[in-house]
Chain A
Amino acid sequence: MYAFDESSTIEADLSAVWQTVSDVPSWATWDPHVLSCGFEGPFEAGSGGWTVWRIGSRTGGYFNVIEVWPGEAYTTETPLPFGKMLIINRYRRSGPGRVDVSRRVEVHGAFATVFRIFWAKEFQKDTQVTFQALEREAQRRGAEAGAAR
């Protein structure tokens, strides 16, 4: 298995962060890492979708949501040749208007070496870009919700 972890603390409300990450069809609108995406069904275990990442030559693929802890965490599983990729995302309030975000990427099976050689470095770098974009989008959504009230 190959794995990496990334984490950050972002300035946003946890509810806005969760609303942003659980709105899968909109990922491509705010996350530079995701060029395009699709999703069927509610955001719960068993639903699935696809993404195209900007790293490599527009790699990506299908994924299934295998675990959701509303407001706290979700995990996706992507089938790979001779293996699978798990992306474990966690969100925890760390203070007023601050959220600790983390992502663990695990690649299981024979494809792990290929992933490590060709994609791991770019993917890990892009994860921080995703966190920064998530902060901006959650702030935007939070402000919109505030204005609507």
Chain B
Amino acid sequence: MSDAATTRAVVIGGGMAGMLSAVALSRFTDEVVVVESDTFPDSPRPRRGLPQGGQNHMLMAGGAEAIDQLMPGTTPLLHAAGAHRLPMAGKLLTLSSEGWFRRFEDDDSYVVACSRQLLDHIVRGQALLDPSISVLQAVKAVGLAGDARRITGVRIEQNGEPRTIDAEFVVDASGSRSKVRDWLTGLGLPQVHEEFVDAGLAYAGRIYEAPGKAVDDFPGVLIQAQPGTGRPGTGGAFMPQEDGRWIVSLIGTAGAHPPVEEDAFLRFARDLRDPVIADLISAARPLTPIRGSHGLANRRRSFHKLPLPEGLTVIGDAAMVLSPNYATGMSLAALGALALRTELKRTGLAPGLGARVQAQIARIGAGPWKMASTSDYFFPDVRTNITVRGGGMQQRMTARFSQTAAENPAVLKAVYEVTTLRAPQNRMMTPPVLGAVLRGPRRAPLTSEAAIAQFPEIGDVLARTESVR
């Protein structure tokens, strides 16, 4: 244990989940030590420990609100630094698996669009305003101290020297490559079960300079991949970023990976179900090389089913990581940290805290896991160790939902609330929503031209390009 006069928590990992967990703990322990193997830049720049930082990231409304609960005033800082608040109903041109979504007025469900580097920089800066939080940079966590009943600290290597930091509570927030499962089996605990659904997803992304007037208040574009067609899924995301930049991420499941070569990248974008992203980027100047990314499977680890030792909880991607296609990672990390604070408020550091937080994290992740895993399950050549029962029925129901949402704002509003993690999945199961879905779509689907015409800002840019449309 730490010195008699002080209580200490240790957080393994200084990313989004780690920093927010440190904030959650800071009012309940005298000090919080964050152990980070990487070093932090002093400005929003790429870092080695965040290899996915160059790809498109979206902070969902539920995650943004959780961050503001933990650190009030953080999202206003993000917006002041150039992040865009994009209401899904009014600022995202979306081609779903079943057609174009209609634009309508609704400000509740939104995404925050900016670079991952900016998000991390602002969140880290806010967290480290608290003098009780300190970071050990370039220090590697190599194990847990304690036994199968209680964790008493973290074993680290600093400048090649091993030592142990004692702690009353330890949070593992070291991401999808966390070693905590091995450490726990080393203490005599059973292996933590991991479910995975791997559609073989790969990304290719690039940053552009937005042309002229398309800097302020420009909408985003999502072209979603279609599962269940028997063909690999392909899609793309186009998002405005800070400093007058755009980011484009193209995705493809096994058998249709997006290329990182110049011409092939553009061709891939043009061959999506609609070429609007290709048309937009042909009007913009590339600022970076095309960067690829692989190994983006959905993985859920059942720490909550383990007799978890006292004094430990596992948070963020270390507990569950979803394919970045669903853009929930940072938001679920924030909601997990908020759950940690809620349990701390209820019981302080009393016995059972870690297990209670773990149960909450599992509960929060259950809906997003179901959505992501049952969607990716239906891409060809998927590798998985789960079985989706009634798959055909689920696919038909999802398609019906999507078809109805494409023309019914009330249904689409419910979909957006769940997608942005502002509401649980049962928001989509209310009688009015289910009634509308059972009745099915009542209007003809939007054509590409009509869908894009809903967003004159996009039309203005396309008019200046030599679109082949």
Q: Which residues of B contact A35 (CB under 8 A)?
A: 342, 345
Bound CA span A28–B346, Å: 13
Q: How far is the CB of A71 from chain B (nearest CB, A)?
A: 22
Provide the main secondary structure of the chain A interface: mixed
Question: Which residues of B159-208 are within 8 A (CB) of A?
Answer: none
A29 contacts B by Cβ under 8 Å:
yes
Contact of B346 among A25, A30, A54 (CB under 8 A): A54
Minimum distance in angstroms from A111 CB to a CB of chain B: 25
**B31 CB to nearest A CB, Å:** 14
Q: Is the CB of A25 within 8 A of B27?
A: no
Q: How many residue pairs bridge A and B at CB < 8 Å?
A: 21
Q: Is B2 an interface residue (CB 8 A)?
A: no
- CB distance A54 to B345 under 8 Å? yes
Q: Which one of A25, A32, A54 contacts B72 once the chains associate, using CB atoms below 8 Å?
A: A25
* Chain A residue, CB-CB nearest to B23: A29
CB distance from A119 to the nearest CB of B (A): 16
A36 is an interface residue with CB less than 8 A from chain B = yes
Instruction: Tell me, rounded to whole Å, the shortest Cβ–Cβ distance linking B333 to chain A.
Output: 17
Digitize B18-50: 1 where CB-to-A-CB distance is under 8 Å, 0 elsewhere. 000000000100000000000000000000000
Interface range on chain B (Cβ under 8 Å from partner): 10 to 19
Check if B342 sits within 8 Å of A25, measured CB to CB. no
Q: Determine the chain B residues whose CB is within 8 A of the CB of A132 once the complex forms.
A: none
- B73 & A25 in contact (Cβ 8 Å cutoff): yes
In the complex, the answer to whether A29 meets B346 with C-beta atoms within 8 Å is: no
In the assembled complex, B69 has its CB within 8 A of some CB on chain A: yes
Query: Distance (Å) between the CB of B49 and the closest chain A CB?
Result: 28
List residues of chain A with CB within 8 A of the CB of B338.
36
- Expressed in whole angstroms, the Cα–Cα distance for A64 and B346 within the complex equals 26
A15 at the interface (CB under 8 A from B): no
Interface residue total, chain A, C-beta cutoff 8 A: 11
Chain A residues near B27 (CB, 8 Å)?
29-30
Determine the distance from Cα of A37 to Cα of B338 in the docked complex, in whole angstroms: 12
B251 close to chain A: CB less than 8 A? no
B362 within 8 A of A: no
Distance between Cα atoms of A146 and B44 in the complex (Å): 30
A22 within 8 A of B: no
Among A29, A30, A37, A54, chain B packs the most CB atoms within 10 A around the CB of A29
Whether the Cβ atoms of B342 and A29 lie closer than 8 Å is no
- Provide the residues of chain A in CB contact with B345, threshold 8 Å: 32, 35, 54
Kindly provide the distance from the CB of B65 to the nearest chain A CB, expressed in whole angstroms. Answer: 8
Check A29 against B73 for contact (C-beta < 8 Å). Answer: no
CA distance A23 to B73 in the complex (A): 11
What is the 8 Å Cβ interface bit string for chain B, positions 43-80, against chain A (1 contact, 0 not)? 00000000000000000000000001111110000000
CB distance from A11 to the nearest CB of B (A): 18
Interface bits A102-146 vs B (CB < 8 Å: 1, else 0): 000000000000000000000000000000000000000000000
Within 8 A of B (CB), among A66-87: none
Most interface-central of B68, B70, B72, B73 (chain A CB within 10 A):
B72
With the chains together, A126 CA to B27 CA distance in Å?
Answer: 17
B346 touches A26 (CB 8 A): no
- B: residues with CB less than 8 A from A are 27, 68-73, 338, 342, 345-346
Name A residues whose Cβ lies closer than 8 Å to a Cβ of B. Answer: 23, 25-26, 28-30, 32, 35-37, 54
Q: List 21 A-B contacts (CB under 8 A).
A: A23-B72, A25-B68, A25-B72, A25-B73, A26-B72, A28-B69, A29-B27, A29-B69, A29-B70, A29-B71, A29-B72, A30-B27, A32-B345, A35-B342, A35-B345, A36-B69, A36-B338, A37-B69, A54-B342, A54-B345, A54-B346
Which 8 pairs of residues, A with B, have the shortest CB-CB distance?
A25-B72, A32-B345, A36-B69, A26-B72, A35-B342, A54-B345, A28-B69, A54-B346
